A and B are shown apart, each in its own frame.
Chain A
Amino acid sequence: MNFWLELIIKLVAILGFVLTGALVVIYAELKAGSHMQGRIGPYYAGVRWGWAQPLADGLKFLQKEDLSPTGADRTIYGLAPYVVMMSTIAVFVVIPFGPDMVGRDLDLGIYFILAISSLSVLGILMAGWSSANKYSLMGGLRAAAQLIAYELPLVLAAAAVVVQAGTMSMNGIVLAQSETWFTVAGIDVAMPFLLKGQIISFIIFMIAVVAELSRIPFDMPIAESELTMGYLTEYSGIRFTMFFLGEYASMIAFSAIAATLFLGGYAAPGVPDGLANLVGPGVMLLKIALLVFVIIWIRWTWPRLREDQLQRLAWFWLIPIALANIAVVAIFKVVF
């Protein structure tokens, strides 16, 4: 196929998936959160179950005036949401939804993801500084301190999986999990890494993901009661929408990464090779949905941590445990 045509098709597919996915997750959050609190939640928008609520919200944000403060550095203020959004969308390039259903199976897969997603910190700092607002600056600084602290356990947990899989390619990691691990009564059993001794990595990874997303219980950067809305305080209209969609898109992105690293990605037991491209996306979406639900569930269950508790959790607990975990995984890899 023509290179440029293929590129455009892939871009449109990824953009379409990210945007519709974000809307679905927003709806899921509204509904799931409501039911966890004994409410009904969105009810009137759309014909049934208030399904059109995220669309209505989105349209409302879009038609709001796009304000920027007088003292703001307009260029940087305008660029910041795009930096955050870009770093989120770029992650989807390497996430496999089937053996061939992948934007580009880079040899560096997970490394690419970690590099490109570290750019979102830059966007947040740009937003916080350029808004010319003390709440924004404080929020931006808190966000940066938090994202840096939790990027380490995130990377270390992923590194443990890379050590066990022996490859950084996302497709390679999935294949390593669909290999036969042992045979019982003539049936070849393949296990995802979660069940192959990576449970500690998985827990560390998910805690770090929730912190990277700045979601409750780690939402100090945008803590309403302390900082109004943190680095988002001055944003409105389309730029706020970009941040908002970006947040939910990165929820999907990180869930997809965790699903690939720990839950076997698009692989499912009993799927013949010929059907993997057809069934794979469905399996992957199911796993993503499961992890997204867990993240939503955590939000509606836990109270907000304090800033020092957050830093202590990362530096005193998660990072040392993750380092020890890598050592143990590496020893097992060499010995067995």
Chain B
Amino acid sequence: MTVTISEFFKESANWAFLAIAVPTLFAGWRTVTSNNIVRAVLYLVVSLGGTAGLFFMLGAEFVGWTVVLVYIGAVIILFLIGIMITRAPLGQEADLSHAMNVKAPAALLSTVVFGVITWAMIDAFGNNMIPPFEPTATSDLSLLLFDRFVIPFEVVSFVLLAALIGGIAIARQDEEVVS
């Protein structure tokens, strides 16, 4: 079944969805267009916060708070530390240049990722509406994670390690050879 626009706006949950999704998209847009690298990271925080909000709307409380704890609380902080230790201009001096040879592949890549995810979503759910449900109990989720999905779960947890290595790589100064 399809939803018309007037039906879409009658549902109060859709208004809540828009209230979260529009700022999320805007923040995502500003993340890649901002001239100031620290501001770009802070827009990324807003964008991730919006993502967490969407998870709350789906009743996935645990996943939502994990986004806050792991991404905002750890990965972003490591980004910020890496940037501030090395090259952050203080205050409002602009710094980033957007060269076309950097922009084009990034735009292409993100369009492809967006396309694949959209295709996968439509392929999986089609026109089915997701029934409204209660928040998932954490104990059910943990049983699932440590039983059927234990290996993917362990693999995903390497994200934090990657963030750590990235922070070191950004912060690391190549040693100059002293003759």
Q: Which A positions have Cβ atoms within 8 angstroms of B?
A: 69, 71-74, 76, 106-108, 111-112, 114-116, 118-119, 121-122, 125-126, 128-134, 137, 140-141, 144-145, 148, 151, 168
Contacts and interface: CB of A to CB of B under 8 A. Distances in A.
A111 B69 contact: yes
Main secondary structure of the interface of A (DSSP, over half): helix
Interface string B73-108: 110111011001100101111000000000000000
A107 B59 CA distance: 12
Interface in B52-80: 61-62, 65-66, 68-69, 72-74, 76-78, 80
A103 to B, nearest CB: 15
Contacts, number: 90
A106 B88 CA distance: 39
B80 A115 contact: no
A133 B39 contact: no
Contacts of A132: 90-92
B45 interface: yes
B115 interface: no
Contacts of B85: 141
Main secondary structure of the interface of B (DSSP, over half): helix
Given A76-B42, A119-B73, A121-B73, A71 B91 contact: yes
Question: What size tier do the contact residues of chain B reach?
Answer: 20 to 34
B27 interface: no
Contacts of B80: 122, 125, 129, 144
Contact of B90 (A71, A106, A108, A111): A71
B62 A71 contact: no
A118 B61 CA distance: 17
Contacts of A126: 42
A236 to B, nearest CB: 17
